[in-house]
Amino acid sequence: MIRPARLVASARIAASVARFFRDSPVDGHTVGNVAERGTGGNGRAAGGLARLPRVRVAVLASGSGTLLDSILAAEFPVSLVVVDRACRAEQVAADHGVECVRQDRTDFSPSFDRSAFSLELASLLSARSIELVAMAGYGTILDAAMHESFPGRIINTHPALLPSFPGWHAVRDALAYGVKVTGCTIHIATIEVDAGPILAQEAVPVLDDDDES
């Protein structure tokens, strides 16, 4: 059984998140706002969040594991890491003592059966009672089976300030365009790539000697 999850969104993006839940099959309700302890007001004390039940989180990764390492170093309660190929993320998971499963993607051709792969992944995660999925540099686009199994509970990271520069080559595209500011985005993943509601963004300046690496 999946426990109800609580999502805390900043005031800047709260309206966008509320619209997502209103327009999606996910049953979402606004339960209040959060305030720091001792500030007064009608907000719920932020310290109370620590007493909420822990959600079982899986992180999907494909590459160097840099994002995964940051997530685990921050002591997020990650229950499982899943990779779709041999990669350094496996060692990162091992270094942090987190179970890692490799679901090998052997077909990178246009005829790749994305539906079957996504269904297998959804079954793997459900069998381990995963409740929230975070994609951290994951190299496979997920099909409907995953979104239907985890509606509104798949979070993606993207190396640009969406909606600008969606897709695989966001950093390269931003540099080629000549932007002076870029950044990163965390958003709820939907069936449309890089188009879900934005949860958080952080901007950084582009330096003269910056490159894609």
Q: Which residues are catalytic?
A: 158
Closest CA to 124 of 68, 82, 77: 82
Pairwise CA distance, residues 191 & 194, whole Å: 9
Pairwise CA distance, residues 38 & 8, whole Å: 19
Count, in order, helices (H) and strands (E) of the chain.
6, 9
Are the CB atoms for 55 and 132 separated by under 8 Å?
yes
> Is the sign of the CA dihedral 192, 196, 200, 205 positive or negative?
positive
Grouping H, G, I as helix, E, B as strand and the rest as coil, residue 55 is coil
